[in-house]
Structure 1
Amino acid sequence: MRIRAAAVAAVLTVLAAAGCSGDSTPLARPAGPSAEAPAPAGPATAPDTSCRPRASLRPPATLPEPGKMPAGSYMRTIQDRGRLVLGTGQDLLLFSSRNPFTGRIEGFDVDMGRQIADAIFGDPDKIQIKVIPYDKRISSAHDGSVDLVANTLTANCARWKDVDFSTIYYDAAKRVLVSSTSKARGMGDLGGRKVCAARGSTSYDGIVSAASKPVPVARDTFGDCLVAFQQNEVDAISTDDAILAGLAAQDPFVEVVGEPLSQEPYAMAVSKEHPEFTRFVNAVLARNRANGTWKRTYERWLPDLGAAPKPPAAEYRD
């Protein structure tokens, strides 16, 4: 076993519900095989390329002043309610995790939501965080049970059919996590070896379709994958580098290796019922790219990933 049993138990407690970036099916997913056994390998679903997934709704030229949202807009509905309801996770270190000392859920994704609350109210604390499982991220935005979802959520064409997305606020890339003593330097070195990803994720699809023919293993969450890895049940984990960074921060005996396997552009999801709110969110993101807020947010949460890059450029579809 790579680390002590007590450490494994701690990870079970902290990460049991950790999410993934890429659930393959946006709204509904058939029940998968037992988490106790490797999922059968099969052909990966071909990605939907029918749209420009990075392109969102063009923002207005100016933002309304905080506390003065236009009558009849969804922003006014949120203002009158007195809080923005943000859907996110609580177990994804660096992006959205519960601080064990304060009990607050915090991270890069949470700050994205707080910045929207600040633009509506002039107060980033006027936010209600609703913890949602990763397989409810699309449905929670779709049915309006939250105003906004920010939870390492990849914008893709299949999901655009169910929700609207903001412009991209973070570019992740799929890579591989292995033991620091492993000779594997990427997926190409893992042929015949067990590689774990969350059930129903695009990360799992990537393992299935890998040319090196690793053995794909499904678990309910990436926290479960980490525990399986620490108990020597699997040889590696594959998912977005942002998620792997959070896992690696909790285990000194791992490293993230390999060239990017795919690009995963993160965006916030909004109900299609409120395009004016999506445009408002995009205006806030555009302002924050320009005034340095995005850079400061990156430096607060992600300094271990290196110097802050340029924020993802906005693309619009109208």
Structure 2
Amino acid sequence: MRRTRVTGLLAVVSAVVLAGCGVSAEPVDPAPVESVARPTPAGTEIDPELARGGSASRDCNATASLPPDAEVADGSTMAEIRERGYLIAGVDQNTFLFGFSDPDTGELHGFDIDIARAVAESLLGDPDAIRFRAISSADRIDVLKEGAVDIVVRTFSVTCERREEVNFSSVYYVAGQRVLVDADSDVEGIRDLGGERVCATRESTSLRNIAESRPRPVPVAVDDWSDCLVLLQQGQVAAVSTDDTILAGMRAQDRTSTKIVGDRFTNEYYGIGIPKGDEDMVRYVNAVLEDVRGGTWQDSYETWLREDLGDAAPPEPRYR
């Protein structure tokens, strides 16, 4: 009985198929497909409105910090950190060579990471007595004002405007803004990018410098520098412009397809960010940096940066 039903079903199906073969039908055109733009990283903004610069005087002697003092007094910020047992540092995890996560181990490495560990080792006797908090460029001031971290070591340029909101250590590195483009680009510097899209992270001095260049490029703001590299590789921006240290990390990840062009058109003075009220911590960190300049600074530079940036030496500190 079952075989009879199956045979009958097959006959019906065959008839339908044969009938379909005998019908001449016009093919149906699929819906027209427009060219599809590649998605941009989350949070990407084209030509964002930038807040006007603060009222802080540009003659505030921004790079001069408080004199160093390694004493850890009772009740001090450093004593509280020792009682807690670990330092909390806001850092980057997406900028190759300065602060990046090892894809195999998940551990953070880079020049800035070494600087943060040096503070932990001096204060707590162990470079691993540290808890890293990965933050974006835009978060650097907020996490300090909120007391969410003890220090920020994240390619943090010292400026008069920022000094109104947070404290800074003495300068531990001097960088300069340049331009990263495709290897086959004819661009020779920032002046060749008028009307072109140029990427930088939001709330960075780099983004403002792009907007103030003449002829004016179109600033593109993203959350992390790795997003800029993606946009450049996808052809969605003509260039990335920021500190040569950060660009060196991007180029190290894509040496065949990118190049750094033009001379430095700014000087960027990196300091360790510290909450506004913690002047004792500023002095202590400056004492740590005095030791770093005389020893491990050069070792770290050789490990991470010399291949891409050539010879360098630690900057001389300036104190008030």
Q: TM-score, normalised by structure 1?
A: 0.82
Match of 2:268 in 1: 264
Pick one of 196, 200, 206 that aligns with 2:199: 196
- Paired residue type of 2:67: R
Q: CA deviation at 1:41?
A: 7.7
In the alignment, structure 1 residue 255 sits paired with structure 2 residue 259: yes
The percent identity for this pair of structures is 41
Match of 1:54 in 2: 63
Answer yes or no: is the 8 Å Cα contact 2:180–2:258 preserved in 1: yes
- CA distances 1:273-317 after superposition (whole Å, capped 9, x unpaired): 221111010011012212x21111111211223444120110011
Pick one of 168, 175, 179 that aligns with 1:176: 179
- Paired residue type of 2:142: S
Within 2, Cα distance between the matches of 1:307 and 1:175?
15
Match of 2:44 in 1: 35
In the alignment, structure 1 residue 186 sits paired with structure 2 residue 189: yes
Q: CA deviation at 1:40?
A: 5.8
Match of 2:104 in 1: 101
Match of 1:281 in 2: 285
In the alignment, structure 1 residue 234 sits paired with structure 2 residue 242: no
Instruction: Sort the Cα spacing of 1:208 and 1:304 in 2 relative to 1 into closer, same or farther, 3 A.
Output: same
Within 1, Cα distance between the matches of 2:306 and 2:80?
36
- Paired residue type of 1:182: S
Instruction: Point out the structure with max Rg over C-alpha.
Output: 2
- CA distances 1:48-91 after superposition (whole Å, capped 9, x unpaired): 5041111101112xx35xxxx43222111111111111111211
- CA distances 1:245-286 after superposition (whole Å, capped 9, x unpaired): 111111130001101111111110111222111101001101
1:81-160 equivalent positions in 2, closer than 5 A: 81-160=84-163
Pick one of 271, 290, 313 that aligns with 1:310: 313
* SS of corresponding position for 1:249: helix
- Paired residue type of 1:55: A
Within 1, Cα distance between the matches of 2:173 and 2:249?
15
Instruction: Sort the Cα spacing of 1:258 and 1:120 in 2 relative to 1 into closer, same or farther, 3 A.
Output: same
Q: CA deviation at 1:177?
A: 0.4
Q: Which has the higher contact order (CA 8 A, sep 6+)?
A: 1
- Paired residue type of 1:112: I
Instruction: Sort the Cα spacing of 1:302 and 1:142 in 2 relative to 1 into closer, same or farther, 3 A.
Output: same
Instruction: Sort the Cα spacing of 1:131 and 1:215 in 2 relative to 1 into closer, same or farther, 3 A.
Output: closer
Within 2, Cα distance between the matches of 1:125 and 1:131?
16
Match of 1:71 in 2: 74
Within 1, Cα distance between the matches of 2:44 and 2:196?
18
User: Structure 2 unaligned runs (5+)?
Assistant: 1-37
Within 1, Cα distance between the matches of 2:52 and 2:85?
44
Within 1, Cα distance between the matches of 2:75 and 2:99?
32
Q: CA deviation at 1:43?
A: 9.7
Answer yes or no: is the 8 Å Cα contact 1:174–1:263 preserved in 2: yes
Answer yes or no: is the 8 Å Cα contact 2:94–2:225 preserved in 1: no
Within 1, Cα distance between the matches of 2:137 and 2:291?
28
Answer yes or no: is the 8 Å Cα contact 1:167–1:314 preserved in 2: yes
- CA distances 1:215-274 after superposition (whole Å, capped 9, x unpaired): 333334332222221111211111111111111111130001101111111110111222
Instruction: Sort the Cα spacing of 1:311 and 1:42 in 2 relative to 1 into closer, same or farther, 3 A.
Output: closer
Q: CA deviation at 1:184?
A: 1.2
* SS of corresponding position for 2:75: coil
Answer yes or no: is the 8 Å Cα contact 2:147–2:275 preserved in 1: yes
Within 1, Cα distance between the matches of 2:50 and 2:296?
44
Within 1, Cα distance between the matches of 2:191 and 2:140?
31
Answer yes or no: is the 8 Å Cα contact 2:245–2:309 preserved in 1: no
Answer yes or no: is the 8 Å Cα contact 1:48–1:156 preserved in 2: no
Match of 1:21 in 2: none
Within 2, Cα distance between the matches of 1:40 and 1:279?
38
Match of 1:25 in 2: none
Within 1, Cα distance between the matches of 2:51 and 2:273?
28
User: Structure 1 unaligned runs (5+)?
Assistant: 1-7, 18-33
In the alignment, structure 1 residue 215 sits paired with structure 2 residue 224: no
Within 2, Cα distance between the matches of 1:128 and 1:221?
21
Within 2, Cα distance between the matches of 1:200 and 1:306?
25
